[in-house]
Amino acid sequence: MRIPLDPRFHGEPTRVSTSRGARVLPRQRFWLRVAEPLPHDALLRSRALTYASDLFPLSTAPHTGPPELLRRWSPPAKGSSYAEAMPASRRTARQTDLLERLVALLTAEGFASFTLDELTERLRCSKTTLYQLADSRQELVREAVKHYFREATKSVEKQVAIVSEPSDRVVVYLNAVAAELKPLSRQFLDDMARFEPAREVYEANTRIAAGRLRQLITEGVAAGAFRDVHAAFVGEVVAATMQEIQRGEISTRTGLTDSEAYAELASLIVHAVSP
């Protein structure tokens, strides 16, 4: 029986701290989740726990380690998404192309109604080829969502990086987020809201997007471009509004498109924090 494990570090991994020259205790704290519930088998559970306890002993030791290991599980950089922080599998060019075509299909039409047979027919590939991306239909969907947000984050940050004025950076960030989310169909968003593994990725990205905006506002305050506002509160307001936009609630109540709603949100935030 194969049980995929999904570790999430609680705080900065030890090897990352030591690579910066920090002196830390040789211990590691992380959450560990299985993709499926473990059977009620005491022997199997004890074996799983034994295996899990041996995941990071070498990296927990106080040494720097090779750079490629440090990069693999480093915590998210400021402004990055959870999807970007998760390590992408090493794929061939063909597998990457297949994943991108899968993302395009699911974001355009949703995924709840698709069977594996239908996916293989639409993507013109075999189940064996599709299973090289993930071990199950559920994991395929989650991998597609992660890939979409990973690439979207890269695009957004590239646009923010070329702008220096604090108010412009806030506007560019929110408009770039709107542009990246615009291709997502309502069916895909509804399916994602109902499917917990995909929803978790989306919600994590929304939280980090709010944190990124909070960082941009804090930088603006420090530079004297913004009033001394409560950046964390502004971030929470933005996160709540972003969630309502994506659920279609803003469009229903106001008639605004998602892009128009993001433009209004950007204008509102900049005017609220300006001196």
Please give the residue that has the higher pLDDT: either 65 or 136: 136
> Which domain CATH number covers 212?
1.10.357.10
Cα dihedral across residues 239, 244, 248, 253: positive or negative: negative
Q: Provide the pLDDT for residue 81.
A: 45
Do 56 and 97 reside in the same domain of the chain? no
Do 127 and 254 reside in the same domain of the chain? yes
Do 120 and 251 reside in the same domain of the chain? yes
Q: Provide the pLDDT for residue 86.
A: 40
CA dihedral (197, 34, 32, 4) in degrees, to 10, reads: -100
Do 90 and 51 reside in the same domain of the chain? no
At 78, the pLDDT band (50, 70, 90 cuts) reads very low
Please give the residue that has the higher pLDDT: either 233 or 84: 233
- How many domains does one find in the chain? 2
Q: SS3 letters for 25-75? A: CCCCCEEEEECCCCCCCHHHHHHHHHHHHCCCHHHHCCCCCCHHHHHHCCC
Please give the residue that has the higher pLDDT: either 238 or 58: 238
What global pTM score does this model have?
A: 0.63
Do 141 and 159 reside in the same domain of the chain? yes
pLDDT tens by residue, 229-264: 888 888 888 888 888 887 778 888 998 887 788 888
Do 95 and 63 reside in the same domain of the chain? no
Domain endpoint, select from 42, 75, 108: 75
Cα dihedral across residues 12, 14, 18, 22: positive or negative: positive
Range of the domain at 85: 77-275
Domain endpoint, select from 30, 51, 75: 75
pLDDT tens by residue, 31-43: 677 766 777 766 6
pLDDT tens by residue, 122-153: 999 988 888 888 888 888 999 999 999 999 99
pLDDT tens by residue, 149-173: 999 999 999 999 999 998 899 889 9
- Between CA 151 and CA 195 the distance in angstroms is 21
Report in angstroms the alpha-carbon separations of 122 from 105, 115, 236: 8, 11, 40
Question: Is the predicted pLDDT of residue 60 greater than 60, yes or no?
Answer: no
Q: For a pLDDT cut of 70, what percent of the chain falls above it?
A: 69
Do 231 and 110 reside in the same domain of the chain? yes
Domain endpoint, select from 75, 97, 112: 75
Do 121 and 256 reside in the same domain of the chain? yes
Do 177 and 204 reside in the same domain of the chain? yes
Do 241 and 188 reside in the same domain of the chain? yes
Do 125 and 58 reside in the same domain of the chain? no
Do 90 and 68 reside in the same domain of the chain? no
pLDDT tens by residue, 221-230: 888 888 888 8
